[in-house]
């Protein structure tokens, strides 16, 4: 397996398209993207960091793509429609020339509501999508769509049919507010997270229970993987001398240690 790269949202790769949802779908989806290398392109390797998000992947042609979990020798093969659960393990995606896949990056906790399943059932797993939701939206419909924008519209039409505002949805909205705060503060431990919970009128114990129910990870772990991703993006741009303090790290060795603990690799082998 070749060393993968970190493909960030602002990537300018020719085979990568990205679009962000308009309201009201911002509550459900972080963004949509497509990967479609030219037919004669060499295999491209992308590092998938541990994440509290869930991906939905629709293959739009017969060319599959592969994903290899860190420490495993057997890649998973994706050739139709799959739910890729939130993960605590680094995965390397292998995208061959000619493949074409439409992805939906669901916000944390949304998969548990969308498919009415406990979040723990999605952790570190992948599932045939139609085992979860039948034929509400088929790959054939997406293939027949004329372009990326039409595929997004089809998916959003499906979301409108499935979602209702109940007490579970309100709890997930509250978790999103906490996760957003994790992105913007230099958090170093659970005490800081407890203070954030207090400012949002929820106890840490309640937040932890809801995180485990709807996201599958603790608030502290969600904060750690979010911080690492943001720091790696900056490290990729700035190199060794990036401002690691801005992400709650005491020094570069602290950042490198966190990277190894979370992904099994040093930062230099992730970007």
Q: For 143-179, what is each residue's pLDDT tens digit?
A: 889 899 999 999 999 888 887 777 888 889 889 988 8
The encoded tokens of residue 80 equal 């139709």
Whole-number pLDDT of residue 186: 66
Tell me if 211 sits within 8 A of 175, measured CB to CB.
yes
CB neighbour list of residue 25: distance below 8 Å, 6 or more residues apart = 156, 159
1: pLDDT strictly greater than 60: no
pTM of the full structure:
0.92
Whole-number pLDDT of residue 190: 62
CA distance 253 to 77: 36
Tell me if 16 sits within 8 A of 33, measured CB to CB.
yes
- Domain boundary assignment for the chain: 16-163, 168-270
Which segment of 18-27, 217-226, 242-251 scores lowest on mean pLDDT? 242-251
Equal fold, 16-163 vs 168-270: no
Instruction: Please give the CATH topology (third level) of the domain spanning 168-270.
Output: Arc Repressor Mutant, subunit A (1.10.10)
Rounded to 10°, the helix 190-199/219-238 angle is 110
SS3 68: strand
250: pLDDT strictly greater than 90: no
Give the pLDDT band (50/70/90) at residue 187.
low
CA distance 231 to 267: 10
Instruction: Please give the CATH topology (third level) of the domain spanning 16-163.
Output: Jelly Rolls (2.60.120)
Residue 95 sits at the vertex; the CA angle it makes with 159 and 52, to the nearest 5 degrees, is 45
């Amino acid at each position: 397996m070749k060393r993968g790269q970190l493909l960030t949202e602002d990537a300018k790769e020719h085979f990568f398209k990205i679009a962000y949802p308009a309201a009201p779908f911002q509550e459900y989806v972080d963004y949509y993207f497509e990967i479609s290398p030219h037919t004669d392109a060499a295999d491209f390797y992308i590092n998938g960091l541990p994440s509290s998000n869930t991906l939905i992947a629709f293959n739009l042609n017969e060319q599959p793509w592969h994903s290899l979990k860190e420490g495993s020798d057997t890649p998973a093969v994706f050739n139709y429609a799959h739910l890729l659960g939130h993960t605590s393990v680094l995965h390397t995606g292998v995208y061959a020339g000619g493949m074409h896949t439409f992805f939906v990056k669901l916000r944390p906790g949304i998969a548990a509501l969308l498919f009415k399943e406990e979040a723990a059932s999605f952790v570190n797993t992948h599932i045939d999508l139609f085992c979860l939701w039948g034929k509400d939206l088929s790959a054939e419909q997406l293939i027949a769509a004329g372009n990326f924008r039409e595929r997004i519209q089809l998916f959003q039409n499906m979301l409108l049919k499935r979602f209702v505002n109940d007490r579970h949805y309100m709890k997930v909205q509250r978790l999103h507010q906490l996760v957003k705060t994790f992105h913007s503060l230099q958090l170093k431990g659970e005490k800081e997270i407890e203070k954030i919970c207090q400012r949002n009128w929820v106890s840490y114990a309640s937040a932890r229970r809801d995180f485990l129910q709807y996201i599958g990870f603790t608030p502290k772990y969600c904060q750690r993987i979010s911080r690492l991703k943001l720091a790696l993006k900056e490290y990729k741009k700035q190199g060794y001398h990036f401002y690691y303090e801005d992400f709650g790290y005491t020094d570069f060795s602290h950042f490198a240690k966190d990277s190894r603990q979370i992904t099994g690799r040093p930062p230099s082998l992730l970007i």
